[in-house]
Amino acid sequence: MSEPAKAPRRLAAPLERRGADWIYRSPQSGPTGGPPGGSGRGDKHGAGGIERIEAFFHGAGYAMHRHDTYAIGRTLAGVQSFRYRGSLRHSLPGGTMVLHPDEPHDGQAGTGEGFRYRMVYVDPALFQQALGGKPLPFVHGGLSNDPRLFAATENLLRSMDRAMDPLEQDDGLYELATALDAAAGTRPVRRPVDYAAARRAREYLLASLEHTVTLDELAAAAGRDRWSLSHDFRALFGTSPHRYLTMRRLDLVRQLALAGMPLADASAASGFSDQSHMTRHFKRAWGVAPAQWLNMLGATSPATR
């Protein structure tokens, strides 16, 4: 989708406070072909192969165009209208937009209040790799109310103001690929599971709490290709590699904090980029902030200050 205005520095103010149209490109999102801010396809691993944006338009957003990536996202506020495959569609908050590669579409506000949305642009080769070489899934109509697909976009479309951890991004891509495949009605295919490889991956994660881990790095340590390993790990341990690593890091944070280490130091020692990064994951895991958790336990240490 073409770029009509420079992105602002700050995200998500109410619609009525907006002045000009804007596009915000998430930090260190990999370049892809076609969407706003992109220039070329880029590397298909790590940060490459995807781009994440948030945007706001008062009226006409972009003319009819097409690009060679999937565009998958959510309308956050307002009505987002677009012409796609011969019909005028209207996207509202709560659903998921799925625009397929090489399909012409435009975009404009459906009401006078404008619209705000978030979108992730994904190289289709990444989905095909994640699905084991299956044909690309196709969701008809450009809109879906499938709750599996909506949930699967969450990891890739939240926290737009920071770069994603490489393993977190790959987990999100795998979840989105499988949800997209399910929403398209593709029949599931049973895939063999390699327990030894998944166990090696788990052991590698446990030894790597203090540094960044990529799915490629994990696959090399496990002796299994990256997407098969992601499937195996979920099947055998009930969670994704990134989620498993995050929970073990949070376990270490709790251990260190209870021993009296300040939360900022405990965050750094446990592999988080900073205390706010750790706190976001802590609240997602247990529903309370770490300082509140310590206070509820009656801990009296420098960590609670």
Per the domain annotation, does 228 fall within a domain?
A: yes
What does the pLDDT average to over 23-49? 50
Residues 85 and 207 in one domain: no
Give the chain's largest Cα–Cα span.
Answer: 65
pLDDT of residue 155: 86
Q: Is the pLDDT of residue 304 over 50?
A: no
Instruction: Quote the DSSP letter at residue 247.
Output: H
- DSSP states of 173-236 as a string? HHHHHHHHHHHTTPPP------HHHHHHHHHHHHT-TTS---HHHHHHHHTS-HHHHHHHHHHH
Per the domain annotation, does 172 fall within a domain?
A: yes
Confidence band (pLDDT; 50, 70, 90) for 6?
A: very low
Per the domain annotation, does 117 fall within a domain?
A: yes
- C-alpha to C-alpha distance for 41 and 57, rounded to whole angstroms: 26
Per the domain annotation, does 87 fall within a domain?
A: yes
Q: Is the pLDDT of residue 283 over 70?
A: yes
Residues 248 and 223 in one domain: no
Calculate what percentage of the chain has a pLDDT beyond 90. Answer: 41
Domain encompassing residue 225: 191-237
pLDDT tens digits, one per residue of 121-131: 998 888 888 88
Residues 140 and 264 in one domain: no
pLDDT of residue 47: 46
- C-alpha to C-alpha distance for 79 and 141, rounded to whole angstroms: 16
What are the C-alpha distances in Å from 3 to residues 24, 28, 30, 245?
A: 10, 18, 17, 37
Per the domain annotation, does 205 fall within a domain?
A: yes
Q: Is the pLDDT of residue 30 over 60?
A: no
Residues 48 and 126 in one domain: yes
- Mean pLDDT, the chain, integer: 82
Residues 106 and 222 in one domain: no
State the CB neighbour count (10 A cutoff) for residue 101.
Answer: 18
Calculate what percentage of the chain has a pLDDT beyond 70. Answer: 83
pLDDT of residue 79: 94
pLDDT tens digits, one per residue of 227-280: 899 888 887 887 889 989 998 999 999 999 989 999 999 999 999 989 999 999
Q: Is the pLDDT of residue 119 over 90?
A: yes
Domains in the chain: how many in total? 3
Per the domain annotation, does 7 fall within a domain?
A: no
pLDDT of residue 232: 87
pLDDT tens digits, one per residue of 168-210: 899 999 999 999 999 888 776 667 789 899 999 999 999 999 8
CATH of the domain at 251: 1.10.10.60
Residues 90 and 219 in one domain: no
Residues 167 and 207 in one domain: no
State whether the Cα torsion 250-252-257-261 is positive or negative.
negative
- Among residues 53, 153, 157, which one has the least CA distance to residue 107? 53
> What's the token pair of residue 207?
């030894």
Strand bridging mode 22-25 / 87-91: unpaired
pLDDT tens digits, one per residue of 285-303: 887 889 988 887 774 444 4
Cβ-contact 184, 138 below 8 angstroms: yes
What are the C-alpha distances in Å from 228 to residues 117, 172, 223, 264?
A: 32, 15, 11, 36
pLDDT of residue 48: 59
- DSSP states of 269-302 as a string? HTT-SSHHHHHHHHHHHHSS-HHHHHHHHT--SG
Confidence band (pLDDT; 50, 70, 90) for 65?
A: confident
What are the C-alpha distances in Å from 164 to residues 27, 120, 182?
A: 8, 13, 25
Cβ-contact 280, 249 below 8 angstroms: no
CATH of the domain at 222: 1.10.10
Residue ending a domain, choose from 237, 252, 270: 237
- Among residues 268, 243, 254, 267, which one has the least CA distance to residue 299? 254
